[in-house]
Amino acid sequence: MPKSPAPSAASPRKPSLRAQYEADTIRLKAVLDTIQDATISINADGIIKWANNATEAVFGWRPDELKGKNIALLISGVESATHNEYIRRYLITGDSRIVGKRRQVTALHRDGLAIIIELSVTETQIDGEPIFVAVARDLTSALKQRSELAVIAGEIEAVLNVSPSGIALFSQDGRLRHVNKVFMDLMDCHQIPEGCSVDILDQRAAELATQKGSCQPVAQLLPAGNDILIFEAPRHLVLRRSVKSLPGGGIVIFLQDITETYDVDRMKTEFLSSAAHELRTPMASIHGFSELMLKREYNAEARREMVETIHRQSSAMVNLVNELLDLARIEARAGKDFRIRPCDLSVLLASVSAEFEAQRSILVDVAPDVPKVWADADKLRLVIVNLLSNAVKYSPAGGPVEVRVHLGTQNYVEILVEDRGIGMTADQIEHIFDRFYRVDPNSTVTGSGLGMALVKEIIDIHQGVVSVTPRPGGGLRVRVSLLTVAEESVIRMAEDKIIDNSEK
C-alpha cells in the first residue's frame, strides 16, 4: 500500500478563524485607541462591552473600569434613568431618540462634574445580537472658549460703538463685516447693509463730497493712506478718512470728525491774513508820508496835512492793535480776569453817552424798575462804546441813536441800542460777529471789523445774549441781555467762578 507523501516543511500553516478574528480585533482596537473621541460599545441592555483609551480623557474612567457597567453611569440628570428605556423602545418600535442621531447632552465625569458632550450612537449586528457603538466628544472646553470669544466679541463691539470715530471693517473678500453707528451718522446713512462692498461707501462719499470728483476710491488709499472729505449737505462736516489693509486680509476704514479743528485752522489763517491787510493800509500811509517829509521840503500847510494823515493812520493802527490785544486777552483768559460785580446800568449809560455828546445826541431811557446786573463795568463799558460808535458811524444822515433798558424775562435785563442808519441785509447780519467783517470794505467809514466780535466775546463770558435785527423803518436794533442780581443768577455765575466775591 503506497504511503501518503509527507507534508513539505516549507508550506505555511493557515491561521485559524479565531486567530484571524483576534488579530483583526487587536488591529481595530489599536486604531480606535488612537481616536481622541471616547468610543464605547454596549449591548441591548446598556452594558458596556468595550471602550477605547480616550474614554478616560473624556469621562475619567479607564476602559477596564467601565467594562460590565451600565452606560447610565456616564449620563447625567434625567436621561441617566431613561437611557436604557430609549434602547428598549428602539429595539421594539424602531422609534429612535438617540440611535442614528448626533446631539449635545450633559454627561457625568468621574469626579462628579457635569460635562457637555456631542453624542453619536450607531447600531450594528454581531451574531444576530444588536450592538450599539457610542462616540462622545467633549465640548466643554470648546463651548467655554466659544462663550469667552462671544464675550470678547461683545466687548469689542461695545468699544467700537462708543468710539468717537466711525469704524467700518471689511473681510478679505471686500464685504462689510462690522460698522458702528458713528460711521453711519457721519456718512448720513440710516443703515449700511452687512455684506455690502466697499464700492457702496465710495459712491456715498462721492455723493456727499462738496467738490464732485474730489473723493478718491478706497482702493487708491491702500495699503495705508488717508485723505480729507468735506461735506456741506446735509450739514457742514470735515472728515479725516484713514484706510488700512489688515495683516490677515480685509480692510478697516476710520472716519474722524475734524470739523472744529479744520474750521479753527481756517479761521486762524483768515484772521492773520485779514489782520495783516488791515495793518498794512495805515502802515503804508505812515511810511509814505513820512518818507516824503524826509526827502522833500513842503510848506507849513502841506506838512500839517501830512502830519494829520500820519496821526490819523497811526491812531487807526493803534486802535486795531488794541482791539486785537483785547480780543486775544479775553479769549485766552476766558473771563478769569473779569471782575463781575453788581452794576448800575443807568450810571454806566449816563457816563458813556456823555462821551458822545460832541458827535451825536444819545437818547437814554432806563425803566425805573430795572435792577442791577452782574457785570464787569469796564468790559461792559467797552461793549456799550462799540455799539454806540457803530450806531453813530453808520447813521450818516444824523438820525437819533436811542438806548432803552427794561426788565426782560427769566432774570434778564435787556439793553436795546437802535439807530436809523443804512441798516444791513439778512446775509450781512449773519456775518456781523465775524472778525474783520465790514459791510462795505471800500466805505469811507473807518473801522477794524473787530468791534462786534469783541462785543459777543464779552457778553458770552457774562452768560448773556447779544443779537442784531433790522429796525422797522430803517436802521439796526442790537439787543443785549444780561443776568440780574438775583439768587439764581448768583448761583449760575458762581458755578463758573467768575463772580468777584470781594464786593457784592
Q: Which amino acid is at 492?
A: R
User: Are 352 and 423 found together in one domain?
Assistant: yes
Same domain, 310 and 347: no
How high is the pLDDT of residue 503? 47
- Report DSSP letters for 438-466, one per residue: -S-TTSSS---S-HHHHHHHHHHHTT-EE
User: Which residue, chain included where needed, has cell 447632552?
Assistant: 105
Q: Indicate which CATH number applies to the domain containing 227.
A: 3.30.450.20
SS3 content of the chain, % helix, strand, coil (to 5): 40, 25, 35
In the numeric block, the cell 444791513 is attached to: 424
Do 372 and 408 sit in the same domain of this protein? Answer: yes
Question: Are residues 404 and 483 both part of a single domain?
Answer: yes
Question: Which residue bears the cell 441591548?
Answer: 44
Per the structure, the complete domain to which residue 74 belongs is given by: 19-139
Q: Grid coordinates 431618540 are at which residue?
A: 97
Residue 153 lies in a domain: no
The CATH number of the domain where 372 resides is what? 3.30.565.10
154, part of any domain: no
Give the list of residues 6+ apart from residue 440 with CB closer than 8 angstroms, or none: none
3-state secondary structure of 276: helix
Q: Is residue 388 part of a domain?
A: yes
Q: Is 169 helix (H, G, I), strand (E, B) or coil?
A: strand
SS3 for 408?
A: coil
User: pLDDT tens string for the chain (504 positions)?
Assistant: 455 555 555 555 666 666 665 666 677 677 676 778 888 888 888 888 888 888 888 888 888 888 888 887 887 655 555 665 666 665 555 555 566 677 778 888 888 888 888 888 887 777 667 778 888 888 877 777 777 777 776 766 776 666 778 888 888 888 888 888 888 888 887 777 777 888 888 888 888 887 665 678 888 888 888 888 888 877 888 888 888 888 878 888 888 888 888 877 776 776 667 667 667 777 888 888 888 888 888 888 888 888 888 888 887 778 777 767 766 666 665 656 678 888 888 888 888 888 887 777 788 888 888 888 888 888 888 888 888 888 888 776 667 888 899 988 878 899 999 888 878 888 888 878 877 666 655 555 555 567 788 888 888 888 889 999 988 878 888 999 998 887 555 555 555 555 554 444
What's the pLDDT at 490? 55
**Whether residue 411 sits in one domain with residue 482:** yes
Q: How far is residue 41's CA from residue 71's CA, in Å, rounded to a whole number?
A: 9
User: Looking at the structure, do residues 469 and 410 belong to the same domain, yes or no?
Assistant: yes
Residues 365 and 481 in one domain: yes
Q: In 3-state terms, what secondary structure has residue 410?
A: coil
Q: Which of 239, 257, 275 is the last residue of a domain?
A: 257
Among residues 257, 275, 302, the one where a domain terminates is 257
| DSSP secondary structure letters along 352-397 | HHHHTTTT--EEEEE-TTPPPEEE-HHHHHHHHHHHHHHHHHT-TT
Does residue 304 sit in the same domain as residue 387? no
Q: 246 by DSSP, 3-state: which?
A: coil
Is residue 127 assigned to a domain?
yes
Containing 160, the helix (H) or strand (E) segment is helix 140-162
What is the C-alpha to C-alpha distance for residues 62 and 74, in angstroms, rounded to an integer?
A: 12
Beta carbons within 10 angstroms of residue 24's beta carbon: 10
> Are residues 187 and 319 located together in one domain of the fold?
no
CATH code of residue 310: 1.10.287.130
Residues 296 and 434 in one domain: no
Q: Has residue 8 been placed in a domain?
A: no
How confident is the model at residue 11, as a pLDDT?
A: 53
Q: What is the pLDDT of residue 479?
A: 92
Does the residue 459 lie in any domain? yes
Q: Which residues share a beta bridge with 231? A: 209, 237
Task: Please check whether residue 67 lies inside any domain of the structure.
Answer: yes
Residues 91 and 196 occupy one common structural domain: no
Query: What backbone phi and psi angles, to 5 degrees, belong to 79?
Result: -65, -20
Place of cell 476766558: 334
Give every CB contact of residue 236 below 8 A, 6+ residues apart in sequence: 259
Residue 10 falls within a domain, yes or no? no
Examine the fold and report which residue of 312, 333, 354 is the final residue of a domain before the chain moves on. 333
Total tally of structural domains belonging to the chain: 4
Give dist(CA 265, CA 117) in Å, integer: 63
* 181 and 269 fall within a common domain: no
Please state, in angstroms and rounded to a whole number, the distance separating the CA atoms of residues 288 and 299: 18
**Angle in degrees, CA 68, 74, 79, rounded to 5:** 115
